[in-house]
Amino acid sequence: MKFTGANILSVDQFDRDAIEHIFRIADQMEPYAHRRKRTRVLDGAILGNLFFEPSTRTRISFGTAFNLLGGEVRETTGMESSALAKGESLYDTARVLSSYSDIIAMRHPKAGSVTEFAEGSRVPVINGGDGANEHPTQALLDLYTIEKELAHHGGSIDGMHICMLGDLKYGRTVHSLSKLLCMFKNVRLTLISPPELAMPQSICDALTNAGHQVINTSELSGSLDADIVYQTRIQQERFNSLEEAEQYRGRFRLNSEIYTRHYKPNTVIMHPLPRDSRAEANELDNDLNQNPNLAIFRQADNGVLIRMALFAATLGVEHLVSRYDTDVIWYSDKAIN
């Protein structure tokens, strides 16, 4: 895959070599993300950070990643504050806003919208999530997290057992992650959800065709020898009504007691965040916060590394980052755990 000048719209663009290439660039970004060094390799470059759907972590992570490479960020948040609310097409918006930027990160509530936008853009576009369709950078950071966490225990993605739990129908993170897993070998997947929120059949078929073992179930029972448990929240914004979403809220919770009963002592716990901590949902209990296998915050940290790697590769500076680095002169003692 040629990254320089490319749009990053779907995980379908990646093969295993491309994934591993981005992961090795991400490894090189650790000193900058952890504030041991700083670089100005993108000094003067501008990111257009266009988020037409609510976001906290992803939006700020994109902006932080670009800032850490020395670039500047211009943001638009919310549909109502953009010209789209006045009836402007995505094509016209792209033609105009891309003239103000060197690269654009975009999130939109409608599936396929980021691809439509990219057709009018004069600069590379990175998909930050388009409806229930895809979230390629989240999938990459999830897979990167899985690789690092399993390596800590002497394991690898090839041959692992992952349990995906919760809203698998509307959860775009598990859709994109599953597509990436098709490029690896001998993965076992246990997919636990209500039948109404099951993983789309097309994705299950793709996993099976890749030679993976896929088990669909609506029951969290027995001993699950999973290496990874990936919890998702109920995507209430994708349902027809709040009342419909409420039928499933809190159905599949994970707390210390459930974790101890069903999973191995070193099963890694992941979640794309935000986790719903309200009493009626409590999908990932706070009593897991001190569990060393809870990787959700390491997972979020890895998002900055992956997005830095994608910016560097897409703008063609991945080999120049260290040439423009200097020491950090302010106090910094980032706790990485």
> Consecutive sets of 10 residues in the chain, 337 residues long: mean pLDDT of each?
95 96 98 95 97 88 98 83 70 93 95 94 96 89 98 95 90 90 97 89 96 92 87 63 55 86 94 81 85 96 98 98 94 70
**130 and 112 Cβ atoms separated by less than 8 Å:** yes
Which pLDDT score, from 0 to 100, does residue 318 have? 97
Question: Of 265, 271, 263, 259, which is closest to residue 299 (Cα–Cα)?
Answer: 271
**132 and 111 Cβ atoms separated by less than 8 Å:** yes
Which pLDDT score, from 0 to 100, does residue 332 have? 82
Widest CA span in the chain = 56
- Measuring CA to CA, how many Å separate 314 from each of 125, 150, 335? 9, 28, 29
Place of tokens 């706070």: 286
Which pLDDT score, from 0 to 100, does residue 81 have? 58
**pTM summary value:** 0.92
DSSP string, 196-217: GGPPPHHHHHHHHHTT-EEEEE
Question: Of 80, 82, 90, which is closest to residue 113 (Cα–Cα)?
Answer: 90
Task: Supply 292's token pair.
Answer: 């060393």
User: Residues for the chain: how many in total?
Assistant: 337
Which pLDDT score, from 0 to 100, does residue 86 have? 62
Which pLDDT score, from 0 to 100, does residue 157 have? 97
Q: Where are the beta strands (DSSP E) in 52-169?
A: 72-77, 103-108, 125-130, 161-165
d(CA 305, CA 41): 15
Which pLDDT score, from 0 to 100, does residue 64 have? 98
Question: Of 71, 28, 79, 14, which is closest to residue 50 (Cα–Cα)?
Answer: 79
Residue 335 buriedness (CB in 10 A; 0-12 / 13-18 / 19+): exposed
3-class state of residue 291 by DSSP: coil
Which pLDDT score, from 0 to 100, does residue 281 have? 65
d(CA 109, CA 113): 8
Which pLDDT score, from 0 to 100, does residue 77 have? 80
Given phi > 0 = left and psi -120 to 50 = alpha, else beta, which region is 17?
alpha
Which pLDDT score, from 0 to 100, does residue 196 have? 82
